[in-house]
Amino acid sequence: MTVVAEQTPTFDCRIDFADELITMARADERIVAVCNDSVGSSNLVKFREEFPHRLVNVGIAEQDLVGVAAGLANAGFIPFVSAAAPFLTGRALEQIKADVVYSDRHVVLCGQSPGMAYGELGPTHHSIEDISWMRAVPGLPVVVPADPAQTRAAVRWAAASGRPSYLRIPRFKVPAVTPADAVFETGRATRLAEGGDLTVIAVGTMVSRALDAAALLREQGVEARVVNMTFVEPLDVAEVVAAAEETGVIVTAEEGLVSGGLGAAVAKVVAEHRPVPVRMVGVPTFAPTGSTSFLLDHFGLNADGIAKAAREALGRS
Amino acid sequence: MTALDIAPRPLELDEAAARAYVERGAGLRAATPAEAAPELAKIATGIRRDVLTTIQAARMGHVGGDLSVTDLLVTAMWGTLRLDPFDPANPERDRFILSKGHCAAALYSTLASCGFFARERLSEFMAPLSPLNGHPNRVKVPGVETNTGPLGHGFPVATGCALGAKLRGESWRTIVVLGDGEMQEGSNWEAAMTAAHYGLDNLTAVVDRNRLQQGARTEDTNKLEPLDDKWAAFGWEVRIIDGHDHQAIKEAYAPSTTGRPVAVVANTVKGKGVSFMEDRVEWHHKVPTDEQVRLALEELSR
C-alpha cells in the first residue's frame, strides 16, 4: 500500500507535458507535435487549438508517424512525436532506430501512458517493454520523469538537446517528489532521501513509492537512501557506484519489465565497478486483468513490495 | 595493413566537380527534356561505369538494382533538383532520397559526379572504416538526407520533408526513389495515404519497376499489379514511363499540376546496359568477375 499517495495530491503528468509544450511552442516556432490519432490521449487538444498548422496527425500509422517526424526534422522543425508508448516504441522500433537515432535527427519521442497505465485493457496496451527496447538503441537518451516538475523539465531539456531522445510520460497519477532546487541535466540523478543501510534507485511512478518504502523501512530500523535516476540512459554511473560503495545494497524499482530496464542498467554498473547485492522490483511478465492500481499492487510495485525486496537484500526478511 | 591501420577519413567537397555540377546542372534543369536527354544519357553511362568499378573494388554490392535505377538518379540529381554540394545542409535545397538504400553504389557514384565528394573515394566502398558503408549514412556522406537500408523507410521520411516545406511555405521539392519489391512494405502505403491527405504536390515518388526482387519476380512473390491503379486509388497523380528514357523521366519529374502528389512508375530493366546482367534475378547482388567487368565496360563504351 502507498502511504504518501493517499495523503497528498497526485497529478496526471500528461497535463504538464502538454502545457509545457504549448509554452515552448509559443517561443519557438520550430516545435511541432506529431500524433497518431492520439491528440486527445496525449492531451494535445489545446495545442491544436492554438497551433492548428503545427499539429500533424498521420492517423493510426506508427511507422509513418516516426518517419514523417524524421522528415519534418530534416526540414528544420523540432518534432515532438506523441503517441501511446506501446505502439510508438513497438510498432515503430525500426523507424526509431534508422530514421531518428542512426540518422541523428532531433526528434523527441514521447511515450504516453507507459507501463501498465492502460490497466484493464491488458498487455497489448501495456508498455512494460519500452525502457528495454529504447535502451537497446545506441545513444538514445531514455528519460523517465517522476512528477509534473520533472515532466516539464524533460520537455524543456529535450527541445534544447539538439539530439533525439525518448521521454516516458506518466499517466498514472503521481505526487510531486522533486525538490525546488533540483537540476535537470543529462544523465544526472537526484538523491531524495539519505540513508546508510541500502539504496533504492527508482524511476517514474515508482519514485514516490520508493520514498514511501523508505518511510516503512525507517519504522523497522532500516535507513534507506532514495535516488530518482530519471535518465535510464545515460545512467548516472557515479551515483550508482556511490550507492554500492556507501550503502552496500541496492534495490531498483520501475514500472516496467525487469529484463533490460533500469534494474539491468544498474546491475551492469554494479557488476563492473563494485559488486554488491541487487534486487530488482519490476514487472516480471504479461499482466493479468486489473486496474493499474491493482496490477501495481499485484506485482509488488508499491511501498510494501519495495520494502520487502530491501529486507530480502539485507538478509532480514 | 589491418583495419586498425586505416584512419577514417571524412568525405570532402570536390570543388571542381561541384562547380561543374552547379553550372551544367542549371543548364540541364532549364533545358527542355528533349534537349537535356542526350547529355543526361552520357552522364548516366559514366555512372554505370563507376558503379561497376566501385563494386569490382569492393567485391560486394547490388549491381542489378544499381543499373536499373541509374537513369532515375541521374535525371533527378542532374536534370531536375537543385542540390548544393557546396552547402549540403542548405535549408533551401531540394531533397533527394534513395529509399532502396542497398543501391548505395549508384547513389554514391552520382553524388560524387555532383562534387559532394571526390570520385576517387568510390574505391573505398565498403572498405574498413570507410564512410561509404554498404547502405548510405547521412552523417558521413554529404548529400544523403536520411539513412536508408531497411526497406519502407525513405518514403515516410520524404513525406515529412515535403510536409515540412509546405508548413514553412517554402518552394523546394522532394523526390524519393523506391524499389518495386519495396512496395510490399506496408509503411509505404501509410506514407502514400498521408501525402495524399495533406495534398503534397511538392512530392514525387518514383518506383524503379524492374519487376525483380532479391529472390524472384515481384509478381511471383507478392503481386504489385495493378500498381498504377493502387497509386491512383491512394489519391496520387500517376505517370507511367520508360525508366531508361531520359526525356520521359525528365518530363515525368515535372511538378504536379493537379494539387496531388505525383507517383512515377518507371518501367526499368534490372542490370540495364550490361547484356548478360539484364533482367536476370541472380544479378541482384552477384559480384562480377574482373573479366565480366571488362566486358561490361566495353559494352558501356560503345
Distances (CA, A) of A26 to A47, A108, A154, A309: 10, 17, 17, 46
Whether residue B4 lies inside any domain: the answer is no
Q: pLDDT averaged over chain A?
A: 96
Percent helix, percent strand, percent coil in chain B, to nearest 5: 45, 10, 45
**How far apart are the CA of A32 and the nearest CA of chain B, in angstroms?**
10
Q: Are residues A126 and A236 in the same domain?
A: no
Residue of A nearest to B195 (CA): A58
CB contact under 8 A, A64 and B152: no
**How far apart are the CA of A42 and the nearest CA of chain B, in angstroms?**
20
Q: Are residues A227 and A123 in the same domain?
A: no
Whether residue B269 lies inside any domain: the answer is yes
> B203-209 and B237-242: which strand pairing?
unpaired
Q: Are residues A149 and A200 in the same domain?
A: no
Report pLDDT for A11.
Answer: 95
CB contact under 8 A, A70 and B160: yes
Q: Is the Cβ–Cβ distance between B273 and B299 less than 8 Å? A: yes
Interval A185-199: pLDDT, tens: 999 999 999 999 999
Whether residue B279 lies inside any domain: the answer is yes
Q: What angle do CA B288, B145, B85 make, to 5 degrees?
A: 85
Q: Are residues A307 and A261 in the same domain?
A: yes
Whether residue A180 lies inside any domain: the answer is no
C-alpha cell at B43: 552522364
Report pLDDT for A302.
Answer: 98
Q: Are residues A104 and A232 in the same domain?
A: no
Whether residue A184 lies inside any domain: the answer is no
Report pLDDT for B8.
Answer: 82
Walking along chain A (317 residues) 10 residues at a time, the average pLDDT comes out as 66 96 98 95 95 97 98 98 98 98 98 97 98 98 98 98 97 95 97 98 98 98 98 98 98 96 98 98 98 98 98 89
> Is it true that the peptide bond before A234 is cis, omega within 30 degrees of 0?
yes
Interval B155-184: pLDDT, tens: 999 999 999 999 999 999 999 999 999 999
Whether residue B295 lies inside any domain: the answer is yes
**How far apart are the CA of B284 and the nearest CA of chain A, in angstroms?**
23
Q: Are residues A125 and A56 in the same domain?
A: yes
Q: What b/e sequence results for A49-71 when a residue is b if at least 16 CB atoms lie within 10 Å of its CB, and e otherwise?
A: eebeebbbbbeebbbbbbbbbbb
Element (H, E) at B52: helix B33-58
d(CA A160, CA A165): 11
- Of A169, A198, A213, the residue at which a domain comes to its end is A169
Q: What b/e sequence results for B45-56 when a residue is b if at least 16 CB atoms lie within 10 Å of its CB, and e otherwise?
A: bbbbbbbbbbbb
The pTM score is 0.96
Report pLDDT for A1.
Answer: 47
Distances (CA, A) of B7 to A311, B3, B105, B128, B130: 53, 9, 22, 9, 9
Q: Are residues A214 and A267 in the same domain?
A: yes
Tell me whether residue A242 is exposed, middle or buried, using C-beta atoms within 10 angstroms of its C-beta: 0 to 12, 13 to 18, 19 or more: middle
Number of separate domains in chain A: 2
Q: What is the DSSP string of A218-281?
A: HHTT--EEEEE--EEES--HHHHHHHHHHHS-EEEEEEEESTTSHHHHHHHHHHHH----EEEE
Contacts of B295 (CB under 8 A, 6+ apart): B274, B276
B197 vs A contacts (CB less than 8 Å): 59
d(CA B265, CA A252): 55
d(CA B273, CA B276): 9
- Of A121, A137, A169, the residue at which a domain comes to its end is A169
Whether residue A182 lies inside any domain: the answer is no
Contacts of B110 (CB under 8 A, 6+ apart): B47, B70, B73, B74, B77, B78
Residues of B within an 8 Å Cβ radius of A = 91, 95, 137-139, 145-150, 152-153, 155-165, 167-168, 186-187, 190-191, 193-194, 197
A58 vs B contacts (CB less than 8 Å): 190, 194
Q: Is the Cβ–Cβ distance between A31 and A25 less than 8 Å? A: yes
Low pLDDT (below 70) residues in chain B: 1-6
CB contact under 8 A, B191 and A68: yes
C-alpha cell at B157: 521520411
3 state SS of A40: coil
CB contact under 8 A, A63 and B155: no
Residue of B nearest to A58 (CA): B194
CB contact under 8 A, B167 and A66: no
Q: Could you list the residue range(s) of the whole structural domain that residue A213 is in?
A: 190-313
Whether residue A203 lies inside any domain: the answer is yes
CB contact under 8 A, A99 and B157: yes
Whether residue A185 lies inside any domain: the answer is no
d(CA A233, CA A216): 30
Q: Are residues A141 and A216 in the same domain?
A: no
Length of chain B: 302
Q: Could you list the residue range(s) of the whole structural domain that residue B101 is in?
A: 12-299
Q: Are residues A150 and A196 in the same domain?
A: no
Report pLDDT for B6.
Answer: 62
**Of all residues in chain B, what percent carry a pLDDT higher than 90?**
97
Length of chain A: 317
Please provide residue A62's backbone torsions phi and psi, each rounded to the nearest 5 degrees.
-70, -35
Of B148, B156, B186, the CB nearest to A68: B156
Report pLDDT for B5.
Answer: 57
A76 vs B contacts (CB less than 8 Å): 91, 164, 168
Q: Are residues A15 and A149 in the same domain?
A: yes
CB contact under 8 A, B139 and A73: no
Q: What 3 state SS string does B85-125 have?
A: CCCCCCCCCCEEEECCHHHHHHHHHHHHHCCCCCHHHHHHC
Report pLDDT for B258.
Answer: 97
Q: Are residues A38 and A94 in the same domain?
A: yes
Closest-CA residue to B133 (of A102, A9, A70, A105): A102
Q: Are residues A203 and A294 in the same domain?
A: yes
A53 vs B contacts (CB less than 8 Å): 167
Say which CATH number the domain at B289 has: 3.40.50.970
Residues of A within an 8 Å Cβ radius of B = 32, 53-54, 56, 58-59, 61, 63-64, 66-77, 94-95, 98-99, 102-105
Number of separate domains in chain B: 1
Q: What b/e sequence results for B23-37 when a residue is b if at least 16 CB atoms lie within 10 Å of its CB, and e otherwise?
A: eebeebeeeebeebb
Report pLDDT for B7.
Answer: 72
ipTM entry: 0.96
d(CA A47, CA A34): 11
**How far apart are the CA of B298 and the nearest CA of chain A, in angstroms?**
39
A98 vs B contacts (CB less than 8 Å): 147-150, 153
d(CA A314, CA B122): 61
CB contact under 8 A, B157 and A53: no
Helices B33-58 and B63-77 pack at an angle, to 10 degrees, of 140
